[in-house]
Structure 1
Amino acid sequence: MGNLLAEFGNNTNWLQSDSQNFTGYGIPNYIPPYEFEKHILAIHVSNSEAKESWNFAGWVSQKIRLGVGPNQAAEPVANRKLWLRRTQLLIFQPLATTYTLEIGFPRWFKQASLTIWEYWGPQADSTENKIGIVQGTLIRLENKIDTLLQQHPP
């Protein structure tokens, strides 16, 4: 797999999927009540009561349903740290057509605000682009060889 090529800077390519506010001691883990389709997300966590020295905002897990075994609950396949006051780009492996998230906050948080966006814009794999360039170059070379052979038969 090559590098991902996408138009992240265009805000029309992003769809806000969720926005929640949490309060109270020991904020429980949050599982959005729907499944995500896109494997590229942006997540922002803020805390109006956070000290300036606080940076850690919790974690997020990508979870997929396996469909086998005695427990049919979604299983975590990727975990990422979340940072406070930052909109983070999260790119998960496209292992399933849909997946869920579970978000956990630090136990010392009494308040948190969470926003999640899904990237719905165009994307390509740079390997595919390179293959296309190589194929185009090969076609041009074949055409030049054909032209030379027509001008100078063997």
Structure 2
Amino acid sequence: MTHTKFHLSRWQHLLALGFGAGLAPKAPGTFGTLVAIPFIIGFATLGLVWYLAFLVVGTALGIYICGKTARDVGEHDHGAIVWDEVIGYALTMLLVPLSVQSLLAGFLLFRFFDIVKPWPIRWFDKRVHGGLGIMLDDLLAAVPAWLVLQLLFYYQLLN
């Protein structure tokens, strides 16, 4: 995987690459997902309205920056583009009581669904292109991850 076409001096590339985390030589999506943790904690501390605003603005911005960066490097959904993981993991943690355990469980669940891409996630991933396509599969992966996380709390398997 080549990284020579990325320019961290361009704000779109900087964000799309998760402030450089996406340039990790192995598992860039996993490193990119970790970038979400300060955002999750920070916006959860500010309250639900700010958290939702971050998700909405982060998603809209992500559609633009991920699409622009992919076009700039000439490769759809290059592995180094990880802003979609940041927002996907943040969506997974929506309305979840934060703790080390919940952050870890949410992280593992989100990564699982993002990597495996069960139906219908894989269907959308193959058919929706551009910035929206890059963002959509991660947003969709967050839904079952969020549901499982909620069930873990409901059945008190996680506190």
The structure where helix makes up a greater share of residues is: 2
The structure where strand makes up a greater share of residues is: 1
